[in-house]
Structure 1
């Protein structure tokens, strides 16, 4: 598992960890049943507090991405492909909603936003 943290990002460290683990699950890098490092081990590797990794793991467990077993560890939960895709679409829709609100705030028209999306999509 490869996680890179940015101390200059406005995103909290636990959120960066959480999003990168999710991304690796979505991309199939982390597979169902695969063991994750313990919270303490990951905290040491990333040079963050155990509280930070604990928060990321707990959030991911609540969202159904991880399962924890006392004395055994934390593992990637089983994901059905269609459910995984639905989650990705839901996250994309949330991101798009934020982008659209920002575009409206700065006065971009719908067509100007679409033109920018087309440019970046290519």
Structure 2
């Protein structure tokens, strides 16, 4: 599993891992039932604490992306299409919020931003 940690990022390491693992699941690179690396092996690979990886796996389990079986490991959960769709919608919402903030920061009015959005939709 290819995960890249940016130590200079303001985003916590466990969140970076969560985002990337979710991305692999949503893109179909990690399939339902597929085992994730053990906490220790992924921690060693990423050169981070095992507690950091454990926290990532716990978050993924809380969000329904991973199932952990005591003594067996963590596995990709049943891919709930509704859950995956909601995650993708959240990503789009965040991207739109970022674009609006950028537009406003360079002096664009809401009308200018709306007009630009309509033009892009027409393409």
TM over 0.5: yes
Q: Which moved more, 1:20-29 or 1:108-117?
A: 108-117
Unpaired stretches in structure 2, ≥5 consecutive residues = none
Query: Structure 1 residues 4, 114: closer, same or farther in 2, change over 3 A?
Result: farther
8 Å Cα contact 2:14-2:53 kept in structure 1: yes
Structure whose alpha-carbon radius of gyration is higher: 2
SS at match of 2:58: helix
Query: Once the 2 structures are TM-superposed, how far is the Cα of residue 112 of structure 1 from its aligned partner?
Result: 4.6
8 Å Cα contact 2:18-2:60 kept in structure 1: yes
8 Å Cα contact 1:68-1:74 kept in structure 2: yes
Query: Structure 1 residues 114, 35: closer, same or farther in 2, change over 3 A?
Result: farther
- 1:101-112 → structure 2 map (5 Å cutoff): 101-110=101-110, 111-112=112-113
CA root-mean-square deviation: 2.4
Deviation digits for residues 39-98 of structure 1 (CA, Å, limit 9, x no counterpart) = 111000100111211111111111111010001110001013243122211232134234
- 1:41-80 → structure 2 map (5 Å cutoff): 41-80=41-80
Unpaired stretches in structure 1, ≥5 consecutive residues = none
SS at match of 2:74: strand
Give the distance between the partners of 2:12 and 2:54, measured in 1 at CA.
Answer: 13
8 Å Cα contact 1:103-1:113 kept in structure 2: no
Query: Structure 1 residues 51, 106: closer, same or farther in 2, change over 3 A?
Result: farther
* Counterpart in the other structure of 2:84: 84
| TM value normalised by structure 2 | 0.82
